Each structure stands twice: as C-alpha cells, then as structure tokens.
Amino acid sequence: MNRTKIFIAIAWLVLVSAEFCVAQQQPINSQYMLNTLTINPAFAGYYDQVDFTFSGQGQLNGIEGSPSTAMFTMSLPFKKTGIGATFINDKAGPTVSNSVRASYAFKLISKNRNSYTNSGFFPTNLSLALEAGLTMRKEDLLQLGAVNDPNFSQNLETVIPTFGVGIYYSKRNFYIGASSPQLLTGGGENINRHYYLNGGIVLKLDRNWLLKPNGLIKYVMGAPLQFDVNGIFSYRSKFDIGLGYRSASSINFLAGFTVSKHIRIVYSYTPPTQNVLLNTNSLLLNVRLGKGFDRGFVKKQKINN
C-alpha cells in the first residue's frame, strides 16, 4: 500500500471511530459539488487563487417559515497550506441557526505544475484538515402563540462549539474526499454527527464538451444512508447544464454560466415530487481572483496531456 492510500485509510478510520454521541441536521446543499468547502474543510486552498462563493436556496413560495439557507465560503491558498472560512445561515420555521467555521488544510502532496489544461484546473493534491467553529441557534417559540403551553413560554438561544476533520485527494481529472464537519461538539448540546464521502471525475468528450459525473454519500447517525448522483455537461468551460438525483426521491436541474474571467453564476431547481412537497430554487455566485476562469490563460501554458 503506497503512502497516499495509507493517509486516506487513516483519515477514514478517524472519521468513523469517534466515540461522542451527538442531534441537529445540517442544511442540505444541492450545489455541494460547486462549493465543496461547505462539506469538507480539506478543500481549503485547493485552487491556487483566492476563491469566494456565495449560495442561497429557498422555496420562493411566500409561506412564512419556509426553509431557506444562505452560505458563504472563502478559500485562501498558500504553498503547503490552505485557509478557509464558512458562514451558514439556516432558517426553518421558528428556528434560526448561524454557523461560523474556520478551516486549516495541510497539503501533504501539492503539485500544481501543468495543472492548467483545456479541461480545467487539475492539481495533484492530498490535504488533511481541521475545522473549528461555533453554531448559534435561536428558537423563536413565542411567535407560535402557544401561550398556555409552558414548553413554548420563552425563546431559546444556544451557542455550540464544533470541531471537524476532512481529507481531500485529487489527481489529473479525478477527486475524492471524506469529512465530518461537526465531528465533536461542546457546551453540553447534542448535534447529530454527519459523515460525507464525495468524489467525481471529469471526462473529455471532444475539444468543446466535458462530462462531469460526481456523487455524494451522506451518513447521519440514526438515519438511513443518503446519496446524491449528478452529471454535468460543460461546453468550453463557459456553459454548464446538469441533472441530479437524491435518494430522497428528488431530482435537481442545474445551469451555469461563466460571466467573465472572474465570475461564474449557477442556478439549480428542485421540483416538487411525491416525497418533496415544495420546490427549491438555488443560486450560486463564484468569484475567483488572479487567473480566474479565463481559458485564454490556458493557451499560454505548456500543457502536459
């Protein structure tokens, strides 16, 4: 077994062997493949440019208390490390949850030479990461109007420290990662531990079209195993269109545009199904500094295909 396989095996054992029991769901992110830092701290510093991503999703149905989520991530690359920050605002009914997390990724392997190709940015990378944060949860129970029930007689506010780990590996057009963003918690509060395993590959169909299949397996203690599968077609890295399926019997449609050298916008839509009663609209804005998304830069490089 080579060094890479040993590191991956050790990290996975760390994820699945924790002894602490923890009871709150993390928000479902239908665009995790485009904002991987929200599920895996080891993605911090993956790109060799400063990267900002904002995403928001909700039902847009005018119903008070409908679930909505806003996420913001920032990734800063350094030679052997990566620094990341994640902010999540999640609302559902009377409950509002705000999370702030900081990630530190150490790059055990980092080779960016000839990583810029006409198919995208593909470094050889193996990162291990630690993440620490706070989750601030408020339950506005008084708005429910249950004046005669002592369980709803006052609002509740809690602050919960969290600690997570992750591992991320990529080579050429392949990537895989495993993580648990809330592996440990403090403050005497119970939060369900989430485990993520995600991966994908980029296939070059011809000189203009790429196919990007990817998937996610999520395990929450006490709940059935969940999975997502997605396929995205990309035209000249300027336009993306895709389709996804979640094991909760929901489907997801996606369309993305590279607006300029530094800006990409992606919209996704989840229609109602038998098990998902409300539709969900998601919008993602990705800003990458430096070389950005400019394909013109690729043509000036010595590509090693």
User: Does CATH place domain 3-298 in 2.40.160.40?
Assistant: yes
In 3D, which of 136, 10, 129, 8 has the Cα closest to residue 75? Answer: 129
Using pLDDT thresholds of 50, 70 and 90, give the confidence band for residue 212.
very high
68 CB burial (10 A radius; 0-12, 13-18, 19+)? middle
pLDDT at position 262: 93
Q: Which residue did the predictor score with more confidence, 287 or 173?
A: 287
Q: Which residue did the predictor score with more confidence, 73 or 280?
A: 73
Tell me the three state secondary structure of residue 269: strand
| Domain locations in the chain as residue ranges | 3-298
53-67, 227-241, 262-276: range with highest mean pLDDT: 227-241
Residue whose tokens read 């980029």? 202
What pTM value is reported for the model? Answer: 0.82
pLDDT at position 143: 62
Q: φ and ψ at 294, to 5 degrees?
A: -70, 115
Does residue 49 carry a pLDDT above 80?
A: yes
Host H or E run for residue 56 = strand 51-58
Q: What does the DSSP 8-state code read for residue 63? A: -
In 3D, which of 211, 295, 286 has the Cα closest to residue 55? Answer: 286
Q: Which amino acid is at 112?
A: N
Tokens of 196: 């993520």
Are the C-beta atoms of residues 186 and 160 closer than 8 Å to each other? Answer: yes
